[in-house]
Amino acid sequence: DAKTTQPPSMDCAEGRAANLPCNHSTISGNEYVYWYRQIHSQGPQYIIHGLKNNETNEMASLIITEDRKSSTLILPHATLRDTAVYYCIVRYTSGTYKYIFGTGTRLKVLA
Amino acid sequence: EAGVTQFPSHSVIEKGQTVTLRCDPISGHDNLYWYRRVMGKEIKFLLHFVKESKQDESGMPNNRFLAERTGGTYSTLKVQPAELEDSGVYFCASSQDPGVGNTEAFFGQGTRLTVV
């Protein structure tokens, strides 16, 4: 199974951009990169996903390197409510479509 | 629209007892997944249903775990007999056909299981 590696924790000042890196060097060509976050005692919440191209939605941007071995999730203007554990996930795109979770990054947004 | 609902939210049982967790997916979602996180570990895949059929149960830890999805609606996950190492948070997720536009899965709040 493809594996993701993330820093265990990061701090970010409120109002600044939060850049969360992820390594997925063993990703296969047909596997997507998904990002979820988990706020204390809630279930994982979808943020964004991509295959090759950079993606942007109302929550975040996802930058995937050309070789697809790493990606960065960008929260453009972090707020205190963005404090959570962020998971970079590789998802199979055939058969089971299961998620392979990493250990996640605990992001703390500071006032 | 209601999200993925899990019952109970918490369960404390003694070692050797049986516990049944329930998951109600989002209406119309044929794909249902079970995941769990045991203490200090990553969230791990358990199994995947497509309607009432098990598509992949490679993550089920042993035969003490039984998942069902009769009629292709809600699903149950039964642990019998429960052991101490089964303690953790069990998540259920559902999605539309993931092969179409690679749609995301929606997770429930989880059931926190404590075996004492």
pLDDT digits (tens, 9 = 90+) for A60-108: 999 999 999 999 999 999 999 999 999 999 887 777 788 889 889 999 9
CA distances from A17 to A34, A63, A82, B4 (A): 19, 14, 11, 31
pLDDT (tens place) for every residue of chain B, 116 residues total: 689 999 999 999 999 999 999 999 999 999 999 999 998 889 999 999 999 999 999 999 999 999 999 888 999 999 999 999 999 999 999 998 777 666 789 999 999 999 99
Q: Residue A59: CA atoms inside 13 Å, Cβ hemisphere, count?
A: 12
Q: Tokens standing for A83?
A: 């404090």
User: Does B106 lie at the interface with A, CB-CB under 8 angstroms?
Assistant: yes
Strands B53-56 and B65-68: unpaired
B42, B55, B104 member nearest A102 (Cβ): B42
Say how many CB pairs under 8 Å bridge A and B: 59
User: Does B29 lie at the interface with A, CB-CB under 8 angstroms?
Assistant: no
pLDDT digits (tens, 9 = 90+) for A49-61: 999 989 999 999 9
Task: For residue B99, list chain A residues with Cβ-Cβ distance below 8 A.
Answer: 93-94, 97
Q: Which residues pair with B60 in a beta bridge?
A: none
pLDDT value of residue A102: 86
pLDDT value of residue A2: 62
User: Does A43 lie at the interface with B, CB-CB under 8 angstroms?
Assistant: yes
Q: What are phi and psi of B69, to 5 degrees?
A: -150, 70
User: Does B34 lie at the interface with A, CB-CB under 8 angstroms?
Assistant: no
- B42 vs A103: CB contact, 8 Å cut-off? yes
